[in-house]
Structure 1
Amino acid sequence: MSTFEDNQYLTFKIGEETFGIGLLNVKEILEYTHVTTVPMMPSFIPGVINLRGNVVPVLDVCDKFFRKKHSPDKRTCIVIVEVPESISGARMDIGLIVESVYEVLSIPSSEIEPPPTFGSRIRVDFLAGMARQASGFILLLNLLRLLTVEELTALEETREEAANAVPAV
């Protein structure tokens, strides 16, 4: 049996598409801030941010899905999400750069369809499903599949290296 929160999604825009993430995975939404570049990372991982003393890797979702860089503007946000289980078995926070955040929607399970097997402009393995809405579909992200094992490993190593490089205060 699902609870009310299980059916709530934070919706946001990337390119021409509307995406959603389960609200229980969203920790906070930040105004876009400077991202510190980390060498030798894929182009869709521009770097890390310091979030209250914690190193948080940042993912440019537009670059990951559409291979286009998004130029930050006043509506650009970094959504801090908790990936349920990373390579080490621990939870991991990741910042997602999104063009703009819309709203939190309650979407009944009956309105969610499985991802299509064809016709989507992004790889469907990133998707948990598609929510029918009057204006079209909301693409619901699967955080466990957003990054490959290799990408998650690289992020964890980068996060640990950056955390060790910060002098203790």
Structure 2
Amino acid sequence: MDTLSKFIVFQLNDQEYGADIQQVLSIEKLQDVVQLPQTPDFIKGVINLRGSITPILDLKQRLHMEEATYTDQTRVLIASMNNVQVGLIVDVATDVIDIDESVVEPAPDIAGGVSSVYLKGVAKLENRLLLLLDLERVLSFEELNEVKQAVEEN
């Protein structure tokens, strides 16, 4: 029997991506972000999410796409990366779907302009391709520590 996994579907520049639901704690509306000095461009700042200071990253900038324009549809995926809670800004979060691992193929070196370093694979669904992002790989260990330090210092 094939294995099904649940994925949250979101968009960046009209391309659909999926993130394993086990890596996503919640989906939030974008709120006012307090900027932090001397941090990489893709770190937009922090928010107070239910009493927890959460760093916010622009996922498009992190994946070397053009800078995002935020709209009412913009969402923040709250994820746990190596026990650090971070928010990832996406254009829109659209769906939660089950994906059978039999339809997932290894990611090509570059897919949708995104390096395969960040991808778990590509899901070939009936009428669309879904790039499956591995949220644990979005930040390197050093970058994650940089994010933690920026939050602790401010």
Q: Given the two structures, how large is their TM-score scaled by the length of structure 1?
A: 0.84
* 2:70 is equivalent to residue 65 of structure 1: no
Pick from 78, 98, 111: which aligns with 2:103?
A: 111
Gaps of 5+ in 2: none
**1:8 is matched by which residue type in structure 2?**
K
- Computing the radius of gyration from Cα coordinates, the structure with the larger value is 1
Partner of 1:165: none
Gaps of 5+ in 1: 86-90, 163-169
CA positional deviation for 1:65: 1.7
* 2:142 is equivalent to residue 150 of structure 1: yes
Secondary structure, counterpart of 1:155 in structure 2: helix
For residues 104-143 of structure 1, the aligned pairs below 5 Å read 104-118=96-110, 120-143=112-135
Partner of 1:88: none
CA positional deviation for 1:150: 2.2
* 2:88 is equivalent to residue 96 of structure 1: yes
Matched residue pairs, number? Answer: 154
**1:101 is matched by which residue type in structure 2?**
A
**CA distance in structure 2 between the partners assigned to 1:3 and 1:35 by the alignment:** 39
**2:92 is matched by which residue type in structure 1?**
S
Partner of 2:9: 11
Partner of 1:42: 40
Q: CA RMSD in A?
A: 1.8
**CA distance in structure 2 between the partners assigned to 1:2 and 1:93 by the alignment:** 31
CA positional deviation for 1:118: 4.4
- Percent identity, aligned pairs only, is 31
